[in-house]
Structure 1
């Protein structure tokens, strides 16, 4: 039997909705097709002039593609990117990220189309369909730039090497090239730009993050104050100073409008120390989250064993109190021979220490030799 695909729940819902809604939209457009007019599905996709009575289209339109090419690309992105991010963040945080990354860019694109119609009086702007997974695709690239900022992707057998934070701008360039073609609409470029700004703002200032267990930081904080996730990091080196200066002025304006809040000293210290789970030095958010869960499980096991072997535990009358079945987890001795074999600090694995069985035999043989002497 072929291996079963392990798809997290939110990612599974996204894929099903994308296939179902895109198929429904294609069926409606095929049935009503005519050579004289362009068919739009205003109750499923967002059309500024026609969809005001269907407010749910601000969300559903993101999971509707108009052709096989964009539908295949969208499904591939949701499958691989969704699985990675949902496992790194949890299903709840991933769902919140999806809602923000789709609803806000669609709303901003809607307002931009209405403004362009107001300035030009050209109804083409308000009859343009705003749909597609473009906001989610570029939002995933922004999220990867936060999780693995130092990761380098090598293409064409080493001819091209690009760091992950370079991909959002490259993606916007590709969308700009494809916008005049039948594959994308004129709203695609707006969706890409607003998707970049929205996802970065949310991850930078609002998303809840959890520090490592060993840190002395609060149980949860918001945003990511690390320098590797500054907005200027998306741009090439020569233009970084100009982008940094411009983005700082925008940030000061948003702070004055109380849209954003400046980072506290705790946030800056946590970012510099690498205490965030999703930015841990152990190799990405997935591995850090696994370490955190394992540490919590081991700590709970230690507490149960300590309670079972503590003074309140019932003892057998035939066994002296001084003789226990073995040392508790907290008092388990650590042989010096195991120090060189340990590859990670003990605090990362809770308080449990593993003692191989052969050490017990060596200790037993040592006693026999000592008695024989």
Structure 2
């Protein structure tokens, strides 16, 4: 084990050095607040406590700080790893500023929605623990948003081969995993589950309707619809319900109506472009598809290899040897006269008699 620690540290430092200032600053802040938690109760001061978030206390700064507060080493590793993965996979497509905006939107929304849900739970149960004993903090909310963004940009990437799991199924699988941990009692609080759920939801809403890019706002493609996060058996029902909610939000002018653009003047056949599809994203997918096609063609060529030129020359030599006639008995070679066709044994030609 000690053998691999220097190698892992070297790879980690190399990956961190290649990231932007935003990723380095967030990672350093996570580590700094973790060290500070040894002396100060940082989840209480910087985490979201539902009873203190809303008036009369109104601790609004916790909406910004709760995403970088960790109490355990594995939490620090998960938080820094999530931020670095986002910097390696999403920042080249978005840019550092858009990454920072996404980080802020997801964390603020997850903290606000989680605090509001616990407030509603208190109203229904009158249990003060839901207001003052719950601490919402950590990387769960941002992890949900990052997995949703990865589903949008590279959802067809295979994460596990046996069983085959694609990246587009990761948000639902992680949600199921956290729910099982909570039901089994391994999670002592429902705050990570709530934070992850609201982080994934807020990330999807932002990417679906509000993210600005070179071709407009949002991503209204079918593969990124809300129903695509659910199993195929329930997707029609979820799609119908999501369509009703979206229509109501459009009438309230909270969301915009889905619009498809048709490029009739294209040099090729009619092309359909959906607003929200980034050209860099499309180019990335084309490169992945081309790589997969080249690998498949290479496997086919390896299975059915063509004969080489040496094999063809050997075949020609064999044909020449079969054309030559064998020696006659006694060592005599056959005459050099051309071989007659079968017809020559039936029809003979003689000289005409001379006239006297």
Change (3 A) 1:169 1:26: farther
Change (3 A) 1:208 1:184: farther
CA contact (8 A) 2:43 2:137 kept: no
Task: After the TM superposition, list the runs of 4 or more consecutive aligned residues in structure 1 that deviate by more than 6 angstroms.
Answer: none
1:166 aligned to 139, 152, 169, which one? 169
Aligned to 1:229: 224
**Equivalent residue, structure 2, for 1:42:** 44
How has the CA–CA distance of structure 1 residues 70 and 117 changed in structure 2, closer, same or farther, with 3 Å as cutoff?
Answer: same
Q: Are residue 100 (structure 1) and residue 102 (structure 2) matched?
A: no
> How far 1:267 sits from its partner (Å)?
8.7
Match of 1:140 in 2: 146
TM-score by length of 2: 0.68
Q: RMSD over aligned Cα, in angstroms?
A: 2.6
Deviations 1:53-89 (A, max 9, x none): 4321111011112222222222211122233212220
Q: Distance in 1 between matches of 2:64 and 2:122?
A: 23
Question: 2:200 maps to which residue?
Answer: 196
Is the contact made by 2:43 and 2:69 (CA closer than 8 Å) also made in structure 1?
no
Alignment partner of 1:162: what SS?
A: strand
Q: Distance in 2 between matches of 1:78 and 1:116?
A: 31
| Gap regions ≥5 residues in structure 1 | 30-39, 211-219, 287-373
Task: State whether residues 93 and 281 of structure 2, in contact with CA within 8 Å, keep that contact through their aligned partners in structure 1.
Answer: no
Following TM superposition, by how much is the alpha carbon of 1:42 offset from its aligned partner in structure 2, in angstroms?
Answer: 2.9
In structure 2, runs of 5+ residues without a counterpart are: 1-9, 264-271, 289-356
Give the match for residue 349 of structure 1: none
Q: What number of residue pairs does the alignment pair up? A: 263
Write out per-residue CA displacement over residues 220-245 of structure 1, whole angstroms, 9 at most, x where no aligned residue.
40011211111111122211111111
Q: Whose helix proportion is higher, 1 or 2? A: 2
Structure 2 residue aligned with 1:73: 78
Conserved 8 A contact 1:11-1:82: yes
Q: Within 5 Å, which residues of 2 pair with 1:211-360?
A: 220-266=215-261, 269-271=272-274, 276-283=278-285
Find the aligned partners of 1:17 and 1:115 in 2 and give their Cα distance.
32
The aligned counterpart of 1:151 is 157
Q: TM-score, length-normalised on structure 1?
A: 0.65
